[in-house]
Structure 1
Amino acid sequence: MANVPFADNYPFLEVMWSMLVFVGFVFWIWLAVMVFMDIFRRDDMGGFAKAMWIVFVIFIPLLGVLVYLIAYHNSIAERNMRGQEAAKAAFDQQVREAAGKSGPATEIATAKSLLDAGAITDAEYDDLKTKALAGRS
């Protein structure tokens, strides 16, 4: 049989080294993917510059990723912060819209504006108000 490592002849330090190499490889892949995402996400860089960075990172991976991180580390953090702030603002707006669309007070106010505009009669307004207070829409 070939030289296959079994548990009885695979020393503990080699196991630890193999685990360290695996974790390092996963970290390296994550770092390269983050650099690619940042390159494609940039709106201050033209297409040719993006293509050159992609070529640099693909053909000389270690040097390309390290040079990109050193050259643009501040702008990467700023873009991440702006992205998080935009996502939070969009989420907050969606929550406000969802919360503002329900409730008897909103329904009564909508009915009152329709009454004031002459779109509904007093009887229809009273009916909508009763339904809103009863919890039915």
Structure 2
Amino acid sequence: MNLAADYPLLNVFWTMCWFFLWILWFMLLFRILIDVFHDDSLSGWAKAGWAVFLILLPFLGVFIYLIARGRGMGEREMSKAQKNEEQFRAYVRETATSGQTSTADQLAKLTELRTTGQITDEEFAKAKAKILT
């Protein structure tokens, strides 16, 4: 019994199209749910309302959400990306500048501070132990 002979190539193509559209629909639905819960301007009740609406009437809910709040989705995503980029750049700057001085340079500065009298011998010993550990 050969089942492949009863299913023509065009039907395979349409089945694949429907399958990919189904996957695309779920991706859109989950993307909107994620946007609802990541939006800080919505209250808890509004988030719950949108979630219930999207779960009970998914087709209508998605279309209404895209019409009502679609533009804000992109703006929120861009602000989140910019915030992440700024945090990354700040981390890189902090990491790059913190490792530029060697232990010998730090000890030399401490010795200079001690000899000029700006720090006491006890402070020098504590700072030296901190540097060397």
Instruction: Answer yes or no: same fold by TM over 0.5.
Output: yes
Which TM-score applies when normalising by structure 1?
A: 0.75
SS across alignment from 2:99: coil
Q: Does 1:11 align with 2:8?
A: yes
TM-superposed CA distance for 1:112, in Å, is: 4.9
| Percent of aligned pairs with the same amino acid | 34
| CA deviations over 1:55-84 (Å, ceiling 9, x no partner) | 110000001011101111121111100110
TM-superposed CA distance for 1:36, in Å, is: 0.5
TM-superposed CA distance for 1:109, in Å, is: 5.5
Aligned length: 119
Q: Which runs of 5+ in 1 are unaligned?
A: 129-136
TM-superposed CA distance for 1:120, in Å, is: 3.8
Q: Does 1:42 align with 2:39?
A: yes
Which TM-score applies when normalising by structure 2?
A: 0.77
- Is the alpha carbon distance of 1:46 and 1:120 closer, same or farther for their aligned partners in structure 2, counting shifts above 3 Å? same
- Is the alpha carbon distance of 1:120 and 1:20 closer, same or farther for their aligned partners in structure 2, counting shifts above 3 Å? same
TM-superposed CA distance for 1:113, in Å, is: 4.6
Q: Does 1:90 align with 2:87?
A: yes
Residue in 2 that maps onto 1:22: 19
RMSD: 2.5
